């Protein structure tokens, strides 16, 4: 049984998609006014795990993630840099797509841009006006919060203090009580605008996600996810807009990730603890160590990001890499023992447990610990593993990669040149011809691989040089 914590009920609920075998998943994408920071990526990594887990459990996942390329922040940024909105947002959109690749985030099936979906938004606003839920005022259109009695059901905010007729024009606000929020903003002189039945203007941020989500996934979606800051007002307003328009439940499961802190403090530019992914890469940190650090803490627990944590993450990745390349080398070089494996590593059971823990609201800590326990088992059993068992170990890593996306197995062959030189290296060592073995070691290094000498009685193996630390040894 799969259980997720649903923000709407504030409870763990059994998850079953509306349509058997298929899950519709909408994740709020980045606002492309800056490079995404590691807090954003904590949420995106959690959503990636969610998707990978559902796929591992055999569901077909229709994943939509939008790009917010028109809102208050993008417009302010474009004006500041004296660029057109699309020039400005295209740059950060491309940067985001690159960052997604760097962190091994699966590309969404559809990634709509808000500016390509303006007509859908206008259509939805029209519907809301026709139903008396939205009204025009001074060339803008507002959502009448009092007309939607269920308002507040996600964020548990009460409407009592709402001042009749109070309106809010900005996309982000922290009002304790709801206020009529803007759906369509009348054009200002220095802002991009689109034609609409209410004159020139542009959409508010909240209507964007409602429109894109329904356009691509239908009126009721299985899962909608984001960071905890989105619960109010963004997701509360999405519910109000969508459910008032269709009369149907908008989202069945709302999942929210807790914010990332840096050294126990809120990440902010003024404190100097604000890091983009690129900042960390520039400092020499490895993308998969960063991914691991963001992945390894349960999405509803506070993740305190520290450089110490990154160091530990790096050690885990190194352990996984080392074990994987041991298995790969031994399998490719045919140096497996012919004996039956002593421990009968039980990798199938380990994998089952890895997935099972994730069924429990993505219990990542238990799942990773099971996986790493499996790797330790392989390490201790390596010398006794026969050919089939080595192959089983390789597919164990492959499956874990599908789930955790740590990119351990993307290199799954040893080039013939490396293989040949390693054979000669081993021969030369046996013959104690160390000058020739050194030459072979160097040759292998030039091909981008490094030789790992086995302890007495163990074979020498090779490992691909691909992470920052591989070259430092
Ligand atoms: P934005 O680009 O601001 O629209 O945010 C993109 C995603 O990152 C949203 O799901 C946010 O909720 C999430 N997010 C923003 N700040 C943080 C943070 N410090 N920790 C975790 N998630 C965050
Ligand atoms: Zn959104």
DSSP codes joined into one string, 280-320: HHHTT--HHHHHHHHHSS-TTSPEEE-HHHHHHHHHHHHHH
The dihedral through the CA atoms of 163, 169, 175, 180 has a sign that is positive
For ligand 1, say whether the CB of 31 is within 6 Å of any of its atoms.
yes
Q: How far is the CA of 259 from the centre of ligand 1 (A)?
A: 8
Predicted confidence (pLDDT) at residue 342 exceeds the cutoff of 90: no
pLDDT of residue 205: 94
For ligand 1, say whether the CB of 267 is within 6 Å of any of its atoms.
yes
pLDDT band at 471 (very low <50, low <70, confident <90, very high): confident
Beta strands at 449-452 and 461-464: parallel, antiparallel or unpaired: antiparallel
Predicted confidence (pLDDT) at residue 15 exceeds the cutoff of 80: yes
pLDDT of residue 456: 80
Going by C-alpha positions, the residue among 334, 156, 354, 165 that lies closest to residue 239 is 156
For ligand 1, say whether the CB of 225 is within 6 Å of any of its atoms.
no
Please state the length of the chain.
473
Cα separation, 54 vs 253, in Å, equals 14
Cβ contact 182:167 at 8 Å: yes
Predicted confidence (pLDDT) at residue 393 exceeds the cutoff of 70: yes
Residue 402's CB: how many other CB atoms inside 10 A?
Answer: 14
Bridge partners, 166 (sequence order): none
Atom of ligand 1 nearest to the CA of 31: 2
Per residue in 137-178, pLDDT (tens digit) is 989 999 999 899 999 999 998 766 665 667 788 777 765 556
pLDDT of residue 302: 94
Atom of ligand 1 nearest to the CA of 33: 2
For ligand 1, say whether the CB of 74 is within 6 Å of any of its atoms.
no
Cα separation, 368 vs 358, in Å, equals 10
Per residue in 83-116, pLDDT (tens digit) is 999 999 999 999 999 999 999 999 999 999 999 9
Cβ contact 146:164 at 8 Å: yes
pLDDT band at 458 (very low <50, low <70, confident <90, very high): confident
Alpha helices in 382-432 (DSSP H): 387-404, 416-430
Q: Which residues surround ligand 2, an ion (CB under 5 A)?
A: 28, 209
Q: Which overall architecture, per CATH, does domain 17-282 show?
A: 3-Layer(aba) Sandwich (3.40)
pLDDT of residue 455: 81
pLDDT of residue 161: 60
Cα separation, 473 vs 450, in Å, equals 9
Q: And the tokens for 387?
A: 């050919």
**Which residues, 6+ apart, have CB-to-CB distance to 198 below 8 Å?**
136, 139, 140, 141, 184, 186
Atom of ligand 1 nearest to the CA of 29: 6
Per residue in 207-230, pLDDT (tens digit) is 999 999 999 999 999 999 999 999
pLDDT of residue 383: 87
Per residue in 243-255, pLDDT (tens digit) is 999 999 999 999 9
Mean pLDDT of the chain: 93
CA 23 to chain centre: 17
Predicted confidence (pLDDT) at residue 270 exceeds the cutoff of 80: no
Share of the chain above pLDDT 90, in %: 84
pLDDT band at 271 (very low <50, low <70, confident <90, very high): confident
pLDDT of residue 406: 98
Per residue in 358-392, pLDDT (tens digit) is 999 999 999 999 999 999 999 999 988 899 999 99
Cα separation, 177 vs 162, in Å, equals 6
Going by C-alpha positions, the residue among 314, 264, 265, 363 that lies closest to residue 468 is 314
Q: Which residue has the higher pLDDT, 13 or 166?
A: 13
Nearest ligand, CA 225: 1
**Ligand 1: which of 26, 72, 74, 227 to mutate, most ligand atoms within 8 Å of CB?**
227
pLDDT of residue 334: 81
pLDDT band at 269 (very low <50, low <70, confident <90, very high): confident
Lowest-pLDDT range of 36-50, 58-72, 148-162: 148-162
Cα separation, 202 vs 187, in Å, equals 7
**Which residues, 6+ apart, have CB-to-CB distance to 244 below 8 Å?**
128, 131, 133, 143, 147, 148
Q: How far is the CA of 28 from the centre of ligand 2 (A)?
A: 4
Residue 309: asked if its preceding bond is cis (omega within 30°), the reply is no
Share of the chain above pLDDT 70, in %: 95
Nearest ligand, CA 259: 1
For ligand 1, say whether the CB of 114 is within 6 Å of any of its atoms.
no
| Entry pTM | 0.95
């Amino acid at each position: 049984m799969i259980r997720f914590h649903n923000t709407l009920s504030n409870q763990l609920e059994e998850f079953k998609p509306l349509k058997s075998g298929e899950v519709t998943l909408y994740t709020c994408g980045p606002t492309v006014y800056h490079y995404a920071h590691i807090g954003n990526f904590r949420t995106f990594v959690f959503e990636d795990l969610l998707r990978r887990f559902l796929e591992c459990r055999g569901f077909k996942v229709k994943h939509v993630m939008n790009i917010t390329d028109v809102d208050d922040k993008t417009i302010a940024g474009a004006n500041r840099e004296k660029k057109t909105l699309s020039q400005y947002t295209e740059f950060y959109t491309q940067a985001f797509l690159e960052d997604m690749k760097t962190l091994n985030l699966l590309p969404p099936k559809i990634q709509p841009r808000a500016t390509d979906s303006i007509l859908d938004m206008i259509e939805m606003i029209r519907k809301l006006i026709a139903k008396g839920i939205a009204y025009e005022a001074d060339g803008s259109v507002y959502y009448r919060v009092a007309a939607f009695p269920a308002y507040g059901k996600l964020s548990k905010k009460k409407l009592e203090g709402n001042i009749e007729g109070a309106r809010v024009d900005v996309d982000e606000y922290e009002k304790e009580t709801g206020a009529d929020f803007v759906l369509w903003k009348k054009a200002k002189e220095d802002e991009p605008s689109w034609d609409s039945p209410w004159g020139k203007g542009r959409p508010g941020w909240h209507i964007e996600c409602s429109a894109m989500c329904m356009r691509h996934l239908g009126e009721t979606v299985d899962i909608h996810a984001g960071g905890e800051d989105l619960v109010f007002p963004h997701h509360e307003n999405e519910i109000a807009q969508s459910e008032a328009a269709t009369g149907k439940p908008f989202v069945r499961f709302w999942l929210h990730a807790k914010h990332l802190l840096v050294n126990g403090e809120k990440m902010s530019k003024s404190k100097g603890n604000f890091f983009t992914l690129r900042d960390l890469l520039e400092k020499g940190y490895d993308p998969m160590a960063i991914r691991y650090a963001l992945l390894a803490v349960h999405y509803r627990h506070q993740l305190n990001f520290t450089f110490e944590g990154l160091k530990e993450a790096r050690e885990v990745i190194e352990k996984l890499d080392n074990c994987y390349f041991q298995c790969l080398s031994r399998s490719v070089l045919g140096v497996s023992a012919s004996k039956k494996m002593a421990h009968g590593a039980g990798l199938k059971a380990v994998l089952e447990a890895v997935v099972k823990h994730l069924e429990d609201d993505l219990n990542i800590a238990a799942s990773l610990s099971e996986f790493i326990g499996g790797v330790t088992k392989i390490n201790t059993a390596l010398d006794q593993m026969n050919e089939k068992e080595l192959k089983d170990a390789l597919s164990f890593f492959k499956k874990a990669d599908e789930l955790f996306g740590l990119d351990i197995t993307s290199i799954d062959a040893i080039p013939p040149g490396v293989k040949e030189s390693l054979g000669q290296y081993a021969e030369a060592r046996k013959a104690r011809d160390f000058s020739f073995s050194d030459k072979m070691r160097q040759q292998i290094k030039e091909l981008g691989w490094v030789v790992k000498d086995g302890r007495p009685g163990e074979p020498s193996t090779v490992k691909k040089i691909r992470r920052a630390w591989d070259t430092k040894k």
